[in-house]
Amino acid sequence: MRVQERGWRTGGEAMRQVALITCGILFLAGTIAGGQPATVTSDQKFVDELVADLGFQPSALIERVRHLASVPSEAPAQRRLSHCVERYADRIATDVKLHERVTSEVDQRACDRFQLCLRPDQQRVNQSENYAKLLRVLASEMRGERRAELSPVFMEHETFVQFGRRLASLRGVEEAFSQAASVNGEISAPYILASCPHAWNRWPILVSGLIAASLLAGVLVLLYSKRSVKPASM
């Protein structure tokens, strides 16, 4: 009887250890699965500048992006953010309500801050498709995949911006031209970051954690039961 009692005590201790290990694994899996997407505080300012420069000095932006892509400490963050830019491009090209909301916010802020207001008889042309193409070119450059010079849309945009800057300079409103591009960056940056893919896909990790915990518990119970349960002496 004493041997059996000792065996039961050893088995009970084993079960407690298994329970503790299982709880630890489940807690870790739940923490990871419930975590928020990985973000860096400077991301919004960085993306803000990207969008502003795309509208005011696209060629200089591409040169800066290419430089960052070659810097080991900067390349990983830039590559990660490129996927946010690309997803936003897909959203802005297909989601009419999102495009209208962003455009309305840009117009309102430019009007309030710099008095760059559309006249009642003016209508903004829907450029969401071209804008999305420009963003995809930018994302490709951020990953070092495709050069902007190969994109007709980007080259047309570069020509248009250069013409606009010259015209704005002649009229003494080049600063306003730059400020309008900055407003677009301020408005767009949060939407771009909201389009980032999640760093973790929650449900697969949680399910994997449960499966791992169950397997580990089963193996430990089997091992301890073999060690602790012995035949009673006659």
Task: Per-residue pLDDT tens, the chain, 234 aa: give them.
Answer: 454 555 544 555 655 555 555 555 444 444 443 444 444 447 889 999 999 999 999 999 999 999 998 899 999 999 999 999 999 999 999 999 999 999 889 888 888 887 777 777 777 777 889 999 999 999 999 998 888 999 999 999 999 989 988 888 887 777 877 888 888 899 999 999 999 986 534 444 455 555 665 666 665 666 666 655 555 554
**Residue 93 φ then ψ, to 5°:** -80, -25
Residues 52 and 12 placed together within one structural domain of the fold: no
What's the predicted TM-score (pTM) here?
A: 0.66
**Structural domain span for residue 16:** 2-35+202-228
Contacts of 175 (CB under 8 A, 6+ apart): none
Residue type for 65, please?
V
Residues 95 and 170 placed together within one structural domain of the fold: yes
Cβ neighbours, 10 Å, residue 52: 22
pLDDT in the model for residue 35: 41
Q: Let me know if residue 56 belongs to a domain.
A: yes
How many alpha carbons fall within 13 Å on the CB side of residue 48?
13
Instruction: Label residue 81 exposed, middle or buried (CB < 10 Å: 0-12, 13-18, 19+).
Output: buried
Give the total number of structural domains in the chain: 2
Residues 31 and 97 placed together within one structural domain of the fold: no
Residues 110 and 29 placed together within one structural domain of the fold: no
pLDDT in the model for residue 152: 94
DSSP for 94-124, please give it.
Answer: H-HHHHHHHHHHHHHHHHHHH-----TT---
3-class SS of residue 232:
coil
Residues 69 and 6 placed together within one structural domain of the fold: no
Residues 172 and 89 placed together within one structural domain of the fold: yes
